[in-house]
């Protein structure tokens, strides 16, 4: 049972380059999320999706785009990377709309922008 | 809007000593409360959750937390810690719209 898989695990970019982080889940979860984790700031929600074909902005969406073309995949794109986007990115998924649900996290993707 | 405050960024403790990690939240509506643990170079894992009912919640690895509505707190405790408990712990609240709000994290460092 793979759960939530993120690729790549590590990436170094130069300012202005673009890239896409891929998140895949095999639990048939409806909800998927992208968070960034920075020291002393906890996890901040970038974008999320409540189902295939839908996306919504979180707390810190600027500079990122997302797509959910298939239920099991949630892509996070950086069109023009900036040093401020150096962070560890976590994808998570959850099963239902009910507020008491549990997030299942991927192992993270460490991005460095030079 | 919800917010979560973890009062201690780092907590050093000796092995077999008790520990309490503090979490306070602010919310104008009913929320559900969680503690997640992150071991080095891993994603977050669920430690325990409070949904309703008994205010004392027991989780994995001997951890427990107590929901205190009047003080809007959800502190995490363990009576005797092990070296393997060294990790970062995150408190989180989720509202009726399934949006999670995380605290800034507390790094627990267990020393031999």
Q: In what order do the strands lie in the sheet with A73-78?
A: A4-7, A19-25, A73-78, A65-67
Is B42 close to A90, i.e. CB distance below 8 A?
no
Q: How far apart are CA A87 and CA B27, in angstroms?
A: 28
Residue A27 near residue A90 (C-beta atoms within 8 A): no
Q: How far apart are CA B107 and CA A77, in angstroms?
A: 30
Mean pLDDT of chain B: 90
Q: Cα separations (Å) of B69 from A81, B64, B96?
A: 43, 16, 17
Is B90 close to A41, i.e. CB distance below 8 A?
no
Range from B21-30, B54-63, B100-109 carrying the lowest mean pLDDT: B21-30
Run of H or E residues at B112: none
**N- to C-terminal Cα distance for chain B?**
41
Q: What is the mean pLDDT of residues B3-8?
A: 91
Q: What SS3 class is residue B89?
A: strand
Q: How far apart are CA A19 and CA A44, in angstroms?
A: 20
Taking only the tens place, the pLDDT of each residue in A55-82 is: 999 989 999 999 999 999 999 999 999 9
Taking only the tens place, the pLDDT of each residue in B32-83 is: 899 999 998 888 999 999 988 888 999 999 999 999 988 999 999 999 999 9
- Within an 8 Å CB–CB cutoff, is residue A106 touching chain B? yes
**Confidence bin at A39 (pLDDT 50/70/90):** confident
- Within an 8 Å CB–CB cutoff, is residue B90 touching chain A? yes
Residue A63 near residue A47 (C-beta atoms within 8 A): no
Residues 60-89 of A with CB under 8 A from B: none
Distance of residue B79 Cα from the nearest chain A Cα, in angstroms: 26
Q: How far apart are CA B59 and CA B49, in angstroms?
A: 8
Residue A64 near residue A19 (C-beta atoms within 8 A): no
Q: What is the pLDDT of residue A67?
A: 97
**Confidence bin at B2 (pLDDT 50/70/90):** low
Structure tokens at B49: 């959750």
């Amino acid at each position: 049972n793979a759960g939530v898989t993120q690729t790549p695990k590590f990436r170094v970019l130069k300012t202005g380059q673009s890239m896409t982080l891929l998140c895949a889940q095999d639990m048939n979860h409806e909800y998927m999320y992208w968070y960034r984790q920075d020291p002393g700031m906890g996890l901040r929600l970038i974008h999320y999706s409540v189902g295939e074909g839908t996306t919504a902005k979180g707390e810190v969406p600027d500079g990122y785009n997302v797509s959910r073309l298939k239920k099991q995949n949630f892509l996070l794109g950086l069109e023009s990377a900036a040093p401020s986007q150096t962070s560890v990115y976590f994808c998570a998924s959850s099963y239902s709309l009910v507020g008491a649900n549990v997030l299942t996290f991927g192992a993270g993707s460490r991005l460095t922008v030079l | 809007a919800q917010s979560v405050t973890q009062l201690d960024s780092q907590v050093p403790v000796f092995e077999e000593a008790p520990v309490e990690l503090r979490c306070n939240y602010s919310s104008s509506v009913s929320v559900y409360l969680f503690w997640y643990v992150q071991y080095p170079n891993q994603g977050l894992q669920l430690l325990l959750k409070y949904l309703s009912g008994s205010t004392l919640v027991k989780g994995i690895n001997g951890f427990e937390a107590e929901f205190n509505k009047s003080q809007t707190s959800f502190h995490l405790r363990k009576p005797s810690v092990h070296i393997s408990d060294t990790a970062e712990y995150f408190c989180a609240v989720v509202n009726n719209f399934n949006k999670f709000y995380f605290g800034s994290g507390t790094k627990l460092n267990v020393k031999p």
